[in-house]
Amino acid sequence: EHRNPHEPEFHQAVQEIAESVMPWYLAHEDYRKAQILERVTEPDRIISFRVSWETDDGDIRANRAWRVQFSHALGPYKGGLRFHPTVTQSVLKFLGFEQIFKNSLTGLPMGGAKGGSNFNPKGKSEREVMRFCQSLMTELYRHIGEDVDIPAGDIGVGTREISFLFGHYMRLQNRWTGVLTGKGCSFGGSAVRMEATGYGCVYFCEHMLNHHGEGLEGKCIAISGSGNVALHAAEKAVEKGARVVTLSDSDGFVYVREGLQQEHLEFVKDLKQNRRGRISEFAENYRGAEFHEGEDPWRVTCDIALPCATQNELQENDAEALIRNGVMAVCEGANMPLTAGAARLFAAHNILHAPGKASNAGGVAVSGLELSQNAMRISWSHDEVDSLLQKIMTEIHLSCVQHGTSHGRVDYVRGANIAGFKKVADAMLAYGVF
Ligand code: NDP
């Protein structure tokens, strides 16, 4: 606390990991003597800079941006960029810290980082977003590179923003390298990258249910968010025969009792990705869809909850409602969507709970595969990438089971934390003191 004042999200993320790895950590004298926990909680470096840009009306604006390069023990820094007014150094440190262990779990050679800006893309014209991205890259380019740090997308940063950023990097460096992931498929992007986080989350959820004698088919699922992760999680869940009854955005949630169909999802994809509209418009266009203004979807009756919007979106009273209504599993599509209190409640009630660093690792895993394809100057087909993604999610689930099982029950939070931490700790031990 005294080392990092005013960083509540970062404290929350460190506390969660420290609590679950502590007994295991204390039992390993070599890690303790090398002060691994103290060292891994201090980022390698944080770059903070001003981004000045011009609005369409000729006004000048200044935003703040950061790149938190947390750890490159396992490979070059890797993690997304987030554009949202709630972005602070604390939020990016929590995300960068989580990213270290998530990337470790994928089994691919990637370190942990995160970046972004408090820029709000909502209501900005395409030109304004382009100018902002170009101005941000004018500083960021000197800190990144295909063997140094490879950013990707996150909240508010999709294919459009990655394309502006990538185009400007190329212009500054006069080199085509895979320095960003999430690129368009016609210029170095990977098949399945867009879908990977949501699909991967559902693959993980299915493993978790199967491991406990259950399945996805016929299950009722509540999903929050209506962005990249939420929509692709919904798509895969529907394909697997589940009934997805909700989607949301920061204005409220939509409820469809009989379950969303692919046609509904296509409408929302176009609404969100092309027209940048609000989820309430979906309810206006489809009979049988109810819009609940200003509410989260956690009061509906469901078997499975997939929080796919943002951090701390599911709080203790939401967890109580879900438990009362008979939820059996919570699988995180977003990063740290549960408050510490909500997570404790699910654990106390033996509800299956997959932490984001395991269940949403599919996105960064396919980013890793995008880098391999760029380095080899080839592109794999949709089916090739999807089957690699499935294999990676299967292995992450196995690692959680291996490190988190006690008395026949899997503690996925502990399993993911120990499995992710161990590889990083072993690498740090091997490198000696730095
Ligand atoms: P998008 O920008 O595509 O979508 C975000 C969604 O969450 C929108 O529906 C948005 O609603 C909602 N949302 C965001 N912030 C808030 C908020 N403060 N309050 C309420 N709703 C909010 O982002 P992604 O789908 O890419 O990311 C969602 C989550 O998944 C994040 O936690 C991200 O870190 C995580 N994640 C993403 C990965 C990826 O590959 N994209 C990989 C791994 C994790 P609105 O439009 O109203 O803002």
Average pLDDT, the chain: 97
CA dist 109 and 104 (Å) reads: 8
Structure tokens at 4: 């990092």
Place of tokens 């049988």: 288
Cβ neighbours, 10 Å, residue 430: 8
Q: From edge to edge, which strands make up the β-sheet containing 243-249?
A: 289-293, 252-256, 243-249, 220-224, 304-307, 329-331, 352-354
- Per-residue pLDDT at 354 exceeds 90: yes
* pLDDT tens figures, 32-50: 999 999 999 999 999 999 9
For residue 1, what pLDDT is reported? 74
- Burial class from Cβ neighbours inside 10 Å (0-12, 13-18, 19+) for residue 62 reads exposed
CA dist 127 and 262 (Å) reads: 32
Place of tokens 């950013």: 151
State in Å: Cα 261 to ligand 1 middle: 22
**Share of residues in the chain with pLDDT > 90 (%):** 98
- Which of 92, 250, 280 gets mutated to test ligand 1 (max ligand atoms within 8 A of its CB)? 250
Query: Which H helix or E strand runs over 46?
Result: strand 45-54
Per-position b or e across 166-189, b if 16+ CB within 10 A of its CB: bebbbeeeeeebbbbbbbeeeebb
Banded pLDDT at 234 (limits 50, 70, 90): very high
Banded pLDDT at 2 (limits 50, 70, 90): confident
Residue with CA at minimum distance from ligand 1 atom 23: 155
State in Å: Cα 338 to ligand 1 middle: 14
Instruction: Kindly state if the Cβ of 15 falls inside 6 Å of ligand 1.
Output: no
Structure tokens at 11: 């404290």
Cβ neighbours, 10 Å, residue 225: 30
- Kindly provide the residue ranges of all beta strands, DSSP E only, lying in 257-300, ordered along the sequence: 289-293
For residue 215, what pLDDT is reported? 98
Q: In Å, what is the CA distance from 106 to each residue of 71, 149, 170, 238, 304?
A: 16, 17, 29, 25, 24
Residues that are catalytic: 114
For residue 434, what pLDDT is reported? 81
| Pairing status of strand 243-249 against strand 289-293 | unpaired
- Per-residue pLDDT at 62 exceeds 90: yes
* Domains, the chain: 40-182 (3.40.50.10860), 194-350 (3.40.50.720)
Banded pLDDT at 195 (limits 50, 70, 90): very high
* pLDDT tens figures, 97-113: 999 999 999 999 999 99
Residues 429 and 410 sit within 8 Å (Cβ to Cβ): no
Per-position b or e across 316-349, b if 16+ CB within 10 A of its CB: eebbeebbebebbbbbbbbbbbbbbebbebbeee
Residue with CA at minimum distance from ligand 1 atom 18: 310
- Per-residue pLDDT at 3 exceeds 90: no
* pLDDT tens figures, 399-424: 999 999 998 889 999 999 999 999 99
* pLDDT tens figures, 285-325: 999 999 999 999 999 999 999 999 999 999 999 999 999 99
Structure tokens at 280: 């309430």
For residue 73, what pLDDT is reported? 98
Instruction: Kindly state if the Cβ of 250 falls inside 6 Å of ligand 1.
Output: yes
* pLDDT tens figures, 129-157: 999 999 999 999 999 999 999 999 999 99
